[in-house]
Structure 1
């Protein structure tokens, strides 16, 4: 390795005399303004932060820090030059090349973060804890412009073209980011750990981000990550993430220690999501923000329990072919008030959350300001306009591949090209209150599709859990399970209630159940599942029926991922897929086609009719029966229109 500088020979001699076998420590004063050439096969262990005007790293040359430390390269204030060398690795290495300008090698104390059995060596521009900014863990050379104190950073600009470098990492305490500009280009490594995120709050931190402009391009290069019981509030900001290029040799997996791409079995593509919420009792709130991602997802909860994710008057968008507005898991509570969603695949994927869509009324926002400790002033609260939530999806509305609930009220409008609610064999609760104008508008005329879980699941391949499963359409008829009662509402059923709303569309229960339910997903082995529909002061015009579903193609592999969830329905008698309908007070069901039920209850002031000019016929166990208000019919209940 050669070291040169443009000052005295004596100073250069001091540098050279510090050389050991294979390692040279360069004092900052001696190296300032100089140059270093790390030759092939050599390792330079940088003992302390060093400033140069030129750095050359030859092929197979290495730069490291002493034990317990990491080293980060910046050139003219831009983090650069370090990459994760192979898919699945966690440490970065320096890439060969010549770097000129204001070259700084910053040595920082390590910040190891453990998740899913791996320990990630975080490096970050700003490390903040309860005492304020920790200089020994901060790459301050990467902080361009702005002012930084122990309580607030104003107008900072962070730029990264390397990999797995974090921007602002707040671990405990309280901190504010005001008007930061962050642009990261290059892959992250894990958004389940936050490794490579622009902004992250963890370990109980309270972090308020205001007027941020975050724009990232790269695999799992998340914009904002809330973790570890922190409370992260993002307001008046723009967060945009764009897909990167997956590492060479990457194998699609559901193993969270290795995952850098959304599992295709969700009928999705993409390798970056804009935000993530992790850990236990973590909170993240997005207020008056614009948040977008190319694919995968916009707002997400993952790898945690009892998190709270909130969007108030924010605009969420998927800009590419596939992606969701939000993901709910781990008993998460998610709220979307006054939110605009323009998404490609789903507004929501629910795998264990309670999700609410409604209006950003003054009282609702004020209540959240208190319960979530948002810290909004009276003036800020008054300035928040009341908005309804509007969802526009190019495919489905809400999809379940785990148990969960959805409540819709206020003036919420859900516009979808396909089914509003897509339940893949899960226990769900849907409660829609249309008294303030909520509307559901499925272009294909399907309000709810209940079907067998078609997730083919991963497979173990050479000791790795890979997404190589293939879905195969069943070829045999479902087998009746005598012990499963199709006439009652079970706790594990799909239960839906609609009040004070006019509905137009169909409800289908295409569950097979029985011994033929062999899908490896969360619905595996289900004996049966009933669709329970209750109308209260509501009207419905459509079909409600048990059905036989069929995918558009019989075999679905990764290349055909968009075919998952795509089924046709043929109405058919109930087997293990009961349909329990209650036409409640002041409600009316206009039956537009043959409907097979297992139980029908009509309130004394409820009505079940055929469309104008048509005639409705009721048969119970094959016997033609007069349909009268105030009655309940149980068994093989069939409604036909002629």
Structure 2
């Protein structure tokens, strides 16, 4: 049932009395405030013999006490071996002085919680609420939350509202509220079933492990379901715990976040946890080259939209701005700061059929600015221009007013990465425009044996600055394929595939097109099997090596212990085998060759040129025969370009 619009609250006891009346239906008979009640039938093999005295409840070892309805207490003692339970189909939440606490998962990978033994004193509420089941990958989780909102408003029967402190809560909005959780797997706000809800000026802090961020079990806020709209403005989330995400958007919801901050820190894994995938993935797979056990945000499902405006998103490691298992989704950040607070992690992850826009943002990341993890992903780095933001306001139904739009400054995107820029382990497209600056300690673009499509327009100042001098690395994947796998560096020479045309551009190739930009750095194709690196330069200058190569890691084998070695390779330029390098210089472009480069095709417009650094000369052979590099020339075969 939906509660009437109401403001919470002068006193905890008044709140509990109101909630008891709202939730009594279906949850057992109503207990008077300050008393507790055992269910009439506790079930076989259990005991319902706990004594109650006024505001005190004690449950002894070996006893099971079924709390029949929401109950207020002054003291609770639960002995080791004792159990507090709710009736079938209901969940139990404990708050002390407005703080959700005491809840622990019944086992490491269990989908539900129980109350931990201990002595609790203060303003205690035991809330009996209808379970909120959420299924993923064959596991159904029993979610609990401070506030459940459906299309008709607040559903009190599914809410533990004693965890809402201060402010005002109505059927359409919550303002000035705080939610604090020190128990496990408890959500702040769960907005679903086509609801439209706003949360403003609210603080949420959750410490303790969550369970599954694919359904938001343990998240501060969840917006899920087709037609659901969740708007946050001035919300601060500070979480710490395994899978204790800040915000999850799922299954067709439209989530809009403004002027807010989400920060999530790693928790401590259970000592018996062994990596498992799907619903039991509590940590990032090491074969991604990073570690961590919490994502700050996650976007899931079909047609889901999540837009962050003038906000900060931070994870300790793993990931800050994530999408996973999506189709037709849109993830957008405008004028945001996206960061990893530790030495590892990614800023954003694009997985599946998602359009991801990072406009006017500042990224300060540990390992990757962005990971492109599946085909059909398209990522944009650019400026937050007035025209683009206005168009997004319409297309994504953001609901920004004219004053809000006018107050957003036009900014460029800047990326600082302590390792790589963008990494592909699934096919996808990256567009860079405006004044975007990518500064990386290692390679700018890292393509692991998939179709990577890159366009960079430098006409408005976009620039790339790779600290290791490599702009694009195409290589065989070093992902061992499973979490207990081992990557072993090949030692044999690649075998020529006579059916593979190294001089042509194929749909499956890795390609990069650069316009109106000056580049300093190398481009290597170290693939052993058939995949060409197709490079196009228009009105641009590039200084470096463009070549087929052999890549080598610093170690011959990589296990989970050496995960930080993934992606880090050195290159030795060598003739093309199956790894064609197809280069086109157009629109007055100039390539200044800084080292021996092996190509399979070179095409120049009449106004483009290949040159050497000052004091050197450039030379070319094609199939072993000397050849002049002529304006307008088109050369194919075994091409070697050297300087001397």
For residues 141-182 of structure 1, give each alpha carbon's deviation from its aligned partner in whole angstroms, at most 9, with x where no partner exists. Answer: 110111000111001100000000011000022110011100
The match for 1:42 is 63
Using the alignment, how far apart are the partners of 1:89 and 1:583 within structure 2? Answer: 59
Which of 59, 62, 86 does residue 107 from structure 2 map onto? 86
Q: CA deviation at 1:23?
A: 5.3
Which of 582, 589, 606 does residue 591 from structure 2 map onto? 589
> Where does 1:458-537 land on structure 2 (aligned, <5 Å)?
458=482, 467-513=483-529, 528-537=530-539
1:96 correspondence with 2:117: yes
Q: CA deviation at 1:270?
A: 0.7
Q: CA deviation at 1:252?
A: 2.0
Q: CA deviation at 1:247?
A: 1.5
> Is residue 39–residue 87 contact of structure 2 (8 Å, CA) maintained in 1?
no
**Structure 2 SS opposite 1:547:** strand
Which of 552, 557, 560 does residue 558 from structure 1 map onto? 560
Cα distance change on mapping 1:295 and 1:16 into 2, 3 Å: closer
Cα distance change on mapping 1:164 and 1:16 into 2, 3 Å: closer
Q: CA deviation at 1:33?
A: 5.0
Aligned length: 606
Q: CA deviation at 1:24?
A: 4.5
Cα distance change on mapping 1:15 and 1:227 into 2, 3 Å: closer
For residues 281-321 of structure 1, give each alpha carbon's deviation from its aligned partner in whole angstroms, at most 9, with x where no partner exists. Answer: 10000100011110000000002212100000000110012
> Is residue 38–residue 67 contact of structure 2 (8 Å, CA) maintained in 1?
no
Which of 440, 446, 449 does residue 422 from structure 1 map onto? 446
Q: CA deviation at 1:20?
A: 5.3
For residues 472-531 of structure 1, give each alpha carbon's deviation from its aligned partner in whole angstroms, at most 9, with x where no partner exists. Answer: 111111111111111101101001100000000000000111xxxxxxxxxxxxxx1000
Using the alignment, how far apart are the partners of 1:80 and 1:304 within structure 2? Answer: 33
> Where does 1:347-496 land on structure 2 (aligned, <5 Å)?
347-352=369-374, 353-458=377-482, 467-496=483-512
1:573 correspondence with 2:594: no
For residues 415-454 of structure 1, give each alpha carbon's deviation from its aligned partner in whole angstroms, at most 9, with x where no partner exists. Answer: 0011100000110100000000000000111000011100
**Structure 1 SS opposite 2:373:** strand
1:230 correspondence with 2:246: no
> Is residue 18–residue 25 contact of structure 1 (8 Å, CA) maintained in 2?
no
Cα distance change on mapping 1:309 and 1:31 into 2, 3 Å: farther
Q: CA deviation at 1:613?
A: 1.0
Q: CA deviation at 1:248?
A: 2.1
The match for 2:24 is none
> Is residue 496–residue 534 contact of structure 1 (8 Å, CA) maintained in 2?
yes
Q: CA deviation at 1:19?
A: 6.3
1:118 correspondence with 2:120: no
> Is residue 169–residue 199 contact of structure 1 (8 Å, CA) maintained in 2?
yes
> Is residue 24–residue 46 contact of structure 1 (8 Å, CA) maintained in 2?
no
Cα distance change on mapping 1:140 and 1:590 into 2, 3 Å: same
Using the alignment, how far apart are the partners of 2:583 and 2:534 within structure 1? Answer: 6
Using the alignment, how far apart are the partners of 2:96 and 2:563 within structure 1? Answer: 42
Q: CA deviation at 1:31?
A: 6.9
1:176 correspondence with 2:198: yes
Q: CA deviation at 1:86?
A: 2.2
For residues 25-80 of structure 1, give each alpha carbon's deviation from its aligned partner in whole angstroms, at most 9, with x where no partner exists. Answer: 99xxx979511111111111111001111111111111111111111111111111
1:339 correspondence with 2:341: no
**Structure 1 SS opposite 2:248:** strand
Q: CA deviation at 1:193?
A: 1.4
1:219 correspondence with 2:235: no
For residues 534-587 of structure 1, give each alpha carbon's deviation from its aligned partner in whole angstroms, at most 9, with x where no partner exists. Answer: 000011000000000110000111111100111110000001100000011111
> Where does 1:193-342 land on structure 2 (aligned, <5 Å)?
193-204=215-226, 205-253=228-276, 255-342=277-364
> Is residue 535–residue 587 contact of structure 1 (8 Å, CA) maintained in 2?
yes
> Is residue 419–residue 448 contact of structure 1 (8 Å, CA) maintained in 2?
yes
Using the alignment, how far apart are the partners of 2:53 and 2:391 within structure 1? Answer: 56
Using the alignment, how far apart are the partners of 1:257 and 1:125 within structure 2? Answer: 23
Q: CA deviation at 1:203?
A: 0.8
Structure 1 runs (4+) deviating above 3 angstroms are 14-26, 30-33
For residues 215-248 of structure 1, give each alpha carbon's deviation from its aligned partner in whole angstroms, at most 9, with x where no partner exists. Answer: 0000010001000100000110111100000112
Using the alignment, how far apart are the partners of 2:262 and 2:479 within structure 1? Answer: 31
Using the alignment, how far apart are the partners of 1:429 and 1:405 within structure 2? Answer: 5
Cα distance change on mapping 1:343 and 1:77 into 2, 3 Å: same
Using the alignment, how far apart are the partners of 2:187 and 2:52 within structure 1? Answer: 27
Using the alignment, how far apart are the partners of 2:134 and 2:54 within structure 1? Answer: 35
> Where does 1:16-165 land on structure 2 (aligned, <5 Å)?
22=46, 24=48, 33-165=54-186
The match for 1:518 is none
Using the alignment, how far apart are the partners of 2:223 and 2:445 within structure 1? Answer: 34
> Is residue 428–residue 452 contact of structure 2 (8 Å, CA) maintained in 1?
yes
> Is residue 223–residue 275 contact of structure 1 (8 Å, CA) maintained in 2?
yes
Using the alignment, how far apart are the partners of 1:504 and 1:306 within structure 2? Answer: 36
Using the alignment, how far apart are the partners of 2:37 and 2:495 within structure 1? Answer: 82
RMSD between superposed Cα atoms in Å:
1.7
The match for 1:516 is none
For residues 246-280 of structure 1, give each alpha carbon's deviation from its aligned partner in whole angstroms, at most 9, with x where no partner exists. Answer: 11211123x12110111110110111110000010
Show structure 2 runs of 5+ residues with no match: 1-31
Cα distance change on mapping 1:32 and 1:532 into 2, 3 Å: farther
The match for 1:620 is 622
For residues 94-117 of structure 1, give each alpha carbon's deviation from its aligned partner in whole angstroms, at most 9, with x where no partner exists. Answer: 111000001110010111001111
